[in-house]
């Protein structure tokens, strides 16, 4: 969105979504793409925030940490939640985490794969995965059975040290700004016709 705004809203960017609840195999065009090492990444390890420089090599140890990919029934369970807290918590801890952990996996020597770590956005699959999470939220918001859903938005009560409306580093936004995304049209993006 920022990129688009900075260029005067001239870009037409599409992020493909991976609806893993329909087909849990990793898309072939992603498998064929070898992510080059991402060099000179500055990591701020919490809680001290001491910066260290690292190279990220995207790794996947698919299925080695147990668990399974979410199924349609898992998504249906989440979609049936009537309030936003239950919906977002169950989506996050359920299908969202399951995909991260299943794709990332765990290697006995090399540790967790990229998708199972905080550096997960380095794996292109992250973006396809999160586009699908976003789409699931969109469908929930637009569920005609629950017209009240449309006004439901992310809410982070504290940042863990008691501050209300934490800043969303490295961006200048505060958590309260996320409330504006209750309607995705405010951000200027949309989905292809949603069919279920
Ligand atoms: Cu995620």
Ligand 1 centre to CA of 20 (Å) is 14
Residue-level pLDDT at 107: 97
Q: Where is pLDDT greater, at 196 or 106? A: 106
Q: Does domain 18-142 have CATH number 3.40.50.720?
A: no
CA distances from 88 to 150, 180, 183 (A): 14, 17, 16
Structural domain boundaries of the chain? 18-142, 153-196
What's the pLDDT tens digit per position in 74-91? 999 999 998 877 888 899
Collapsing DSSP to helix, strand or coil, 79 comes out as helix
What's the pLDDT tens digit per position in 154-180? 555 544 544 455 565 666 666 566 655
Ligand 1 centre to CA of 134 (Å) is 10
Query: Is residue 102 predicted with pLDDT exceeding 70?
Result: yes
Ligand 1 centre to CA of 39 (Å) is 22
Candidate ranges 47-56, 110-119, 159-168; pick with highest mean pLDDT:
110-119
pTM higher than 0.85: no
């Amino acid at each position: 969105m920022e990129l688009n705004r900075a260029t005067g809203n001239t870009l037409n960017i599409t992020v493909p979504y991976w609806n893993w609840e329909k087909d849990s195999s990793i898309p072939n065009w992603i498998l064929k793409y070898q992510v080059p090492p991402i060099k000179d990444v500055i990591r701020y390890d919490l809680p001290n925030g001491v910066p260290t420089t690292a190279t990220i090599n995207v790794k996947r140890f698919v299925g080695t940490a147990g668990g399974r990919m979410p199924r349609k029934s898992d998504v249906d369970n989440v979609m049936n939640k009537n309030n936003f807290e239950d919906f977002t918590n169950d989506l996050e801890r359920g299908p969202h985490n399951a995909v991260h952990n299943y794709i990332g996996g765990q290697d006995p020597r090399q540790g967790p794969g990229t998708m199972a770590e905080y550096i997960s956005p380095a794996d292109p699959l992250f973006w396809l995965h999160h586009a699908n999470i976003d789409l699931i939220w969109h469908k929930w918001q637009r569920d005609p059975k629950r017209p009240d859903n449309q006004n439901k938005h992310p809410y982070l009560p504290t940042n863990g040290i008691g501050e209300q409306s934490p800043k969303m580093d490295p961006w200048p936004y505060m958590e309260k700004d996320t409330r504006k995304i209750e309607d995705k049209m405010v951000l200027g993006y949309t989905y292809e016709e949603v069919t279920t």
